[in-house]
């Protein structure tokens, strides 16, 4: 079975919105025989965009998985969203994939979400190949995009092909390594690939580029370098093996070209997936932690080993119930067997196992190491859980969940639907951990929180369509946070006498600001037992509960350190509750002295606009408290990069359309939290 794993490829397709990922995925399904007709995104018929909302908007919202075969290799493929509001889908997909195809548009090149995806892939050390798409468009330039990727993403990109013809005259692709030219039949939508000799005018360019590929291969393979220096013959297989080695070590990123929409180049990209991207045996073994300890254990991808799988996505299916998408890292799982959830130690039975084809299912009896599938029957799970054998429990590294930056209130028009709405919201939160909801007892409102306006718009649309709920949405709110600017010491003393046993808790605490993004830290520096050991944890708990609501506007407090350094206790009256209350009292007093300020989410905004609207767009961004970071010319448009507070960006899409007669577009992603100007802070807190 281990030889089978060499023929597995778990890959994702990721890019900026509108770079053509889903069209590229549709061609893969067609050429591998999974689908017999090509579904087009613009017609709302793409297989991988199966949700109603995806088909209406022509965008990918949820990562869709499918399985296909190419030249005897099994390819588990995940098509991920390109819109930043759904970045969790990319995050969790990259966590479980072994390789990635990064798609770039031939005209636009590196775009904001391309950079985000690239950073995510770097974080998870995912080997990747590049496909420069849409070369049939006017202004498309393969070599310019390759240069753009090198400069902006700092990667060693290796051009492996040469496009023949430009824009609408793009007709063929030259494979530099084999010195052959591929043309694609118009009659069968590119399924037939014909290889021929390279035209005379391209031969010098081919030799020049081939030398660069061989030199790059020699940099990662000493034996090949020796052969090259000794002017010995180097075979095609040796070069490919060395390039593969460079891809696996993230030293080489092969760049391919084509146009998925016009059916050119996709089969060559599939060949590159097989030739260069890793099998489960080629990636480093994943590490697990023994629950309740710091002991690390390596999990090798062995189908005969103990069973370990990571739940990377949860979906509620109206027909089969909860589907848990899993990546199996070790062992074999059979339908009907029991598994342990290593996070909460619950034991559950897997009733069915299904292989996925977007929203279609194929039932299978078992899955083993290397597989991506979905299991039915286990319910008490969240994204990032490990399921495993009961006797050899391990917690695999979980998934980074981005914090929501925007919120809104939502209420059912019919009060009797409230319970139904809460159940639906719980299901959605289980499916999408970047979406959260809570009930505010003070206002009596249900708040929903997400990654952007579109994110919440899709959530509300799904509540209406899938759960048949008639809802009223409140005004969008920004997820502000509070922090402190200076160090302060404060006393918290809680004494209560009720006739019988009283309550006594007394702490002295120091509060210090931390760098942005450091969160909350607690330190115990009590000397001499003035606060007994059993009351240290309740003191910390008291602070943690208090920091959920700051003193300026009731927003969560972040980026500070609380140090317990003194206090006192009573032999009879002291209790855990008393110390929790004393700690929260010290927190409120300390925060008031430590220069509290509001932090607001700052977004990185990229606007693409025709030149005649540049002044208007920049003036508008400045009026929104924006800071222009730079400008760049791209064909007939100019790209403006800026940092703008999220609170100033509501309704920007409409304003931009009106300002530019619909000819400009923009993308926005969360950058950081930053201190708010005093006048804006006063305006925000006065509304609370």
Query: CA–CA separation, 641 vs 292, rounded Å?
Result: 46
Say whether 141 counts as a known binding-site residue: no
pLDDT in tens, 226-279: 988 888 888 999 999 999 999 999 999 999 999 988 999 999 999 999 999 999
Say whether 17 counts as a known binding-site residue: yes
The residue ranges of DSSP E strands in 80-219, in sequence order, are 99-105, 128-133, 157-159, 161-164, 172-175, 180-184, 193-197
Say whether 499 counts as a known binding-site residue: no
Say whether 83 counts as a known binding-site residue: yes
**Among 570, 567, 513, 572, which residue's Cα sits nearest to residue 542?**
567
Residue-level pLDDT at 651: 78
Say whether 417 counts as a known binding-site residue: no
Q: Per the structure block, which two tokens stand in for 146?
A: 């390759």
Q: Per the structure block, which two tokens stand in for 525?
A: 């520096």
Query: CA–CA separation, 47 vs 37, rounded Å?
Result: 10
Q: For the chain, what is the mean pLDDT? A: 84
Domains and CATH numbers, the chain: 8-276 (3.40.50.300), 286-396 (2.40.30.10), 406-479 (3.30.70.870), 483-594 (3.30.230.10), 600-686 (3.30.70.240)
Say whether 532 counts as a known binding-site residue: no
- Statement: residue 342 has pLDDT above 60: yes
Residue-level pLDDT at 54: 39
Say whether 371 counts as a known binding-site residue: no
Query: CA–CA separation, 384 vs 368, rounded Å?
Result: 19
- Which of the four pLDDT bands, split at 50, 70 and 90, describes residue 459? confident
Say whether 653 counts as a known binding-site residue: no
Say whether 615 counts as a known binding-site residue: no
> What percent of the chain lies above the pLDDT cut of 70?
90
Say whether 134 counts as a known binding-site residue: yes
pTM beyond 0.85: the answer is no
Say whether 169 counts as a known binding-site residue: no
Q: Per the structure block, which two tokens stand in for 331?
A: 């062992």
Residue-level pLDDT at 646: 87
The residue ranges of DSSP E strands in 296-416, in sequence order, are 296-299, 308-317, 321-330, 332-334, 338-341, 346-349, 352-357, 360-364, 366-368, 372-376, 386-388, 395-396, 406-412
Say whether 573 counts as a known binding-site residue: no
Helix (H) or strand (E) run with residue 512 in it: strand 503-513
Name the DSSP letter for residue 159. E
Say whether 133 counts as a known binding-site residue: yes
Say whether 135 counts as a known binding-site residue: yes
What average pLDDT score do residues 447-465 get?
81
pLDDT in tens, 496-531: 876 667 889 999 999 999 998 888 999 999 887 789
Residue-level pLDDT at 201: 93
Residue 400, beta-bridge partner list = none
Among the residue ranges 179-183, 347-351, 427-431, 539-543, the one predicted with the least confidence is 427-431
- Which of the four pLDDT bands, split at 50, 70 and 90, describes residue 51? very low
What average pLDDT score do residues 106-124 get?
81
Say whether 420 counts as a known binding-site residue: no
């Amino acid at each position: 079975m281990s030889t089978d794993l060499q023929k597995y490829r778990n890959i994702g397709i990721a890019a900026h919105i509108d770079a053509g990922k889903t069209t590229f995925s549709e061609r893969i399904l067609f050429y591998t025989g999974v689908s017999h007709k090509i579904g087009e995104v613009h017609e709302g018929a793409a297989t991988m965009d199966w949700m109603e909302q995806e088909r209406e908007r022509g965008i990918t919202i949820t990562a869709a998985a499918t399985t296909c075969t190419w030249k005897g290799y099994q390819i588990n493929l995940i098509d991920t969203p390109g819109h930043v509001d759904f970045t969790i889908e990319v995050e969790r997909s990259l966590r479980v994939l072994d390789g990635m195809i990064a798609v770039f548009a031939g005209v636009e090149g590196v775009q904001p979400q391309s950079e985000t995806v690239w950073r995510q892939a770097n974080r998870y050390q995912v080997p990747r190949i590049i496909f420069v798409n849409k070369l049939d468009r006017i202004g498309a330039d393969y070599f310019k995009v390759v240069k753009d990727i090198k400069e902006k993403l700092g990667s060693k990109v290796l051009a492996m092909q040469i496009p023949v013809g430009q824009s609408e005259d793009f007709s063929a692709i030259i494979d530099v390594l084999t010195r052959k030219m591929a043309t694609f039949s118009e009659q069968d939508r590119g399924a037939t690939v014909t290889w021929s000799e390279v035209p005379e005018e391209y031969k010098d360019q081919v030799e020049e580029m081939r030398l660069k590929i061989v030199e790059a291969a020699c940099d990662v393979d000493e034996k090949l370098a020796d052969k090259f220096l000794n002017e010995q013959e180097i075979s095609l297989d040796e070069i490919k093996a060395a390039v593969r080695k460079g891809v696996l070590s993230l030293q080489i990123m092969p760049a391919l070209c084509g146009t998925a929409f016009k059916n050119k180049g996709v089969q060559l990209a599939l060949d590159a997936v097989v030739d260069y991207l890793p099998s489960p045996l080629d990636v480093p073994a994943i590490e697990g932690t023994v629950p309740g300890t710091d002991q690390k254990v390596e999990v090798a991808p062995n189908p005969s080993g103990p069973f370990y799988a990571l739940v990377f996505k949860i979906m509620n299916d109206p027909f089969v119930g909860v589907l848990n998408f899993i990546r199996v890292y070790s062992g074999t799982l059979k339908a009907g067997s029991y598994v342990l959830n290593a996070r909460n130690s619950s034991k559950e039975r897997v009733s069915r196992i299904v292989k996925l084809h977007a929203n279609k299912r194929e039932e299978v009896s078992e899955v083993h190491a290397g597989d991506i599938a979905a299991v039915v029957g286990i319910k008490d799970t969240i994204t990032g859980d490990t399921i495993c054998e009961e006797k050899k429990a391990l917690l695999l590294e979980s998934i980074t969940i981005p914090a929501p930056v925007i919120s809104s209130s939502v209420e059912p028009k019919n009060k009797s639907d409230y319970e139904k709405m809460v159940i639906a919201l719980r299901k959605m939160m289980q499916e999408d951990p970047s979406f959260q909801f809570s009930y505010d007892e003070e206002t009596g409102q249900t708040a929903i929180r997400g990654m952007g306006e579109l994110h919440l718009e899709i959530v509300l649309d799904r509540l209406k369509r899938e759960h048949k709920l008639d809802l009223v949405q409140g005004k969008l709110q920004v997820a502000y946070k509070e922090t402190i600017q200076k160090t302060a010491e404060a006393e918290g003393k809680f004494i209560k006498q009720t006739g019988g046993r009283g309550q006594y808790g007394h702490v002295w605490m120091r509060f210090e600001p931390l760098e942005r993004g450091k969160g909350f830290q607690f330190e115990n520096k009590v000397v001499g037992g003035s606060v007994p050991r059993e009351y240290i944890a309740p003191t910390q708990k008291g602070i943690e509960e208090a920091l959920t609501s700051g003193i300026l506007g009731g927003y969560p407090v972040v980026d500070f350190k609380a140090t317990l350094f003194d206090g006192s206790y009573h032999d009879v009256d002291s209790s855990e509750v008393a110390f929790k209350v004393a700690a929260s009292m010290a927190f409120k007093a300390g925060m008031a002295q430590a220069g509290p300020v509001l932090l607001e989410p700052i977004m990185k905004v990229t606007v693409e606009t025709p030149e005649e609207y540049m002044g208007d767009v920049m003036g508008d961004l400045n009026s929104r408290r924006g800071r222009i970071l730079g400008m760049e010319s791209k064909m007939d448009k100019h790209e403006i990069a800026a940092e703008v507070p999220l609170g100033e960006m509501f309704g920007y899409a409409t304003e931009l359309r009106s300002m530019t007669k619909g000819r400009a577009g923009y993308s926005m992603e969360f950058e950081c939290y930053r201190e708010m100007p005093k006048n804006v802070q006063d305006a925000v807190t006065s509304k609370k």
